[in-house]
Chains A and B, each alone.
Chain A
Amino acid sequence: MNHGSTEDRLRAALTEAGATLDPGTLRPLRAPERRFRPNYRLVAAAVAVVLAGTATAAVLGGPGDVANIVATSTQTLPDEETDLAVILCTESARKDPCRGRAASPEQTRMIEETIRRSSDVEVVTFESQEVAYGRFRQEYAENKALLAAVKPADMPPSFRVKVKEGTDLRQTFRLLPTLPGVAKFSDPARLFELPVMKGEVQRIAVFLCGKGSALPACGGQRTTERVTKEGKAATEAEMKAIEKLIAKMPEVESYVFEDQEAAYKNFRDSYKSNEQLLEATKVEDMPESFRLTMRPGTERVHVIGELERQPGVAQVLDQTCVREQAALAKYGLDLPEADVCSKGR
C-alpha cells in the first residue's frame, strides 16, 4: 500500500467522521459569562485516600498514583469476584467526565463491546441502577444517615467484570477511560480484601507529622503534581503533649504508639499483594501514629476534633468512617465528602 492511498483513505475517513455531526443538533454557543470550571479531582487521588485510610498511605507524601483503581459490587457477580467495575455516568454525576449527562444506550453498548473485546475477560455482567440501589439498601439497612443521603437516581449502573488471573487491568482496559459515558472505575475484589473491611472498627488512628510532610496540618503544601512546601515533623514536646491528652481521655480504652518500623511492618502485611505500592514505599516514608481503641458506644466526634487541633498531628482517621468511604467507592457513588465523614472535621 503506498502513501497516496493512505492519504486518500485518511482524508475520506476524517471527512466522513466529521460529517456524522448534524449541525441541526448543535447547541448554540452561549455568550461568555464567567463560567466556573469544575474542580477536576483525580479519581486516582480519591481512591488513594480510601485505600490509605486503612493504614497509612494518606499520610505518605509520595506515591499518590500508585494504587489507583479501587471499587464496587453486584448481584450476578459477587464483590470478591469483581476485578473491575466500570461505573457509568448518571445525571447525578455532576463532575467530569460525566457533567450530569447519563450514559446513553449507544454509549453503554459501546462500553460493553469494548469490555468484551478483550480475551482476558471471563465474565461481564450489567448491574442496573435498581439492582445496585437494592443491594446498597440491604448492606446499609442500619445506617439511616447514609441511606438518606443516597437517592435511587444517584446510584450509578455498572458493568462488573471478572478477568483471568494475572491480567493487567490498566493495560487490558486502557481504552475504557476514553469512552464517553464512563464515569469511573472501582475494583470491588481488592476492596473486599482491605483490612479495614474486616473487623477492628473501634479504632482511631492519630498520625503525627513526619519530616517533609505535604499536609497542610503540618505546614506543608502540595499541588496534585508535587510538594510545593515541606512541613515540619512533630517535635518531642508535641508528641508528649499529644500522648498526655490521649491518656486522659475517658473515651479511650487503650492506645499504643506505632513507630516507623512497626508502621512499615504493618503496612507490608496489609498490602502484601500490592507490589507496586510496596516498592514505592520506604521505612522513612511511614508516619508515626498513636492507635486508639475506643470504648464501644462512646462519642467519637469530640475526640477526633480535639486531637485534630493538636500541633504535630497530621491527620486523624476514624476507621468507621474510612469503611463508609470505601463502601461508597465500591458503589461508585459520588457524594460530597461532608455527607459521609464529616465527623470531627
Chain B
Amino acid sequence: MEVELLTQQEALARQRVDVASIFAEHHVGLVRLALIMLGDQASAEDVVQEAFARTHAGRGRLRDPGKALTYVRSAVLNGCRSVLRRRATVLRRAVPYEPPVWSAESAAMLGEERREVLLALRELPRRQREALTLRYYLDLTDQEVADTMRISAGTARSTIARGLAALGRALEEES
C-alpha cells in the first residue's frame, strides 16, 4: 500500500517535470506552429507563453502524461483561436474569422509560390486550416490531429481530405 502511494507521488512528480520540459524541448516548434496560425512572432510567443503558464498551473490535472505533448499543442491551438477571434471581433461579422495574414517580415522572406499557398490556406474554414497545418507542418497522424483539435479521428480524416481538395481547387484557380 505504502509502496503504491510512493510510486503514485513519484509519477506525479515526474509528470510535473514532463510538462515543463516538453515546453522547453518544443518551445521553438510550438512558437512556429503559432506563427503559422497567427502570422506574427510576437503574438505567437505570447500564446505559447500563456499556454505554458496555464498548463503548468493545471499540471496536477493532467491524467495521461503520455498525452502531454498533445495537450500542450492543443493549448497552443486554443490560444491561437482566441487571438484570432479577438482580432476578428474588431470588425465583427466580417466573415467567420479570417486566418492571419503573413507578417511583412516573413512575407519578405517567403517566395511568391509559398505565399500563394499560404494565402489559399488562409482562406479555408478554420477547422480545415488547422487540420491541414497539423498534418502537413507537424506530420501528425489522423488520430494525433484529432486529439489535438479535440475532434474524432473520422472527422479529422474527412476534414483534411476536404481541406486538401479545397486548397487544390483554390490553387488551380489562381494559376
Q: A110-B104, A174-B95 are in contact. Are A29 and B35 (CB under 8 A)?
A: no
Evaluate contact between A185 and B53: CB separation under 8 angstroms. Answer: no
Other A-B contacts than A9-B171, A11-B137, A106-B105, 19 sampled, CB-CB below 8 A, are A11-B136, A13-B117, A14-B136, A16-B110, A17-B35, A18-B32, A18-B35, A20-B110, A32-B57, A35-B50, A35-B53, A37-B50, A177-B87, A177-B98, A178-B97, A178-B98, A178-B100, A179-B100, A180-B38
Q: How far is the CA of A107 from the CA of B53 in the complex (A)?
A: 28
Looking across the interface, which residue of chain B has its beta carbon closest to that of A181? B40
* Interface footprint category on B: 35 or more
Can you show 21 pairs from A to B with CB atoms below 8 A apart? Answer: A13-B114, A13-B121, A19-B32, A20-B35, A20-B105, A20-B106, A26-B27, A26-B28, A30-B53, A32-B57, A40-B86, A97-B43, A97-B83, A110-B104, A110-B107, A114-B101, A173-B91, A178-B97, A180-B39, A182-B90, A184-B90
Interface check B64, CB cutoff 8 A: no
Chain B residues with CB under 8 Å of A2's CB are 168
**In the A-B complex, the 6 residue pairs with the closest CB atoms:** A106-B104, A180-B40, A13-B117, A174-B94, A18-B32, A177-B90
Evaluate contact between A10 and B49: CB separation under 8 angstroms. Answer: no
**Chain B contact surface mostly:** helix
Chain B residues with CB under 8 Å of A27's CB are 45, 49
Q: Quote the shortest CB–CB distance from B113 to chain A (angstroms).
A: 7
Evaluate contact between B133 and A14: CB separation under 8 angstroms. Answer: yes
Q: How far is the CA of A14 from the CA of B91 in the complex (A)?
A: 28
Chain A residues with CB under 8 Å of B57's CB are 32, 34
Interface residues of B in 103-151 (CB under 8 A from A): 103-111, 113-115, 117-118, 121, 132-133, 136-137
Evaluate contact between A15 and B137: CB separation under 8 angstroms. Answer: yes
Q: Quote the shortest CB–CB distance from B122 to chain A (angstroms).
A: 9
Q: How far is the CA of A106 from the CA of B43 in the complex (A)?
A: 15
B103 contacts which of A14, A43, A106 (Cβ < 8 Å)? A106
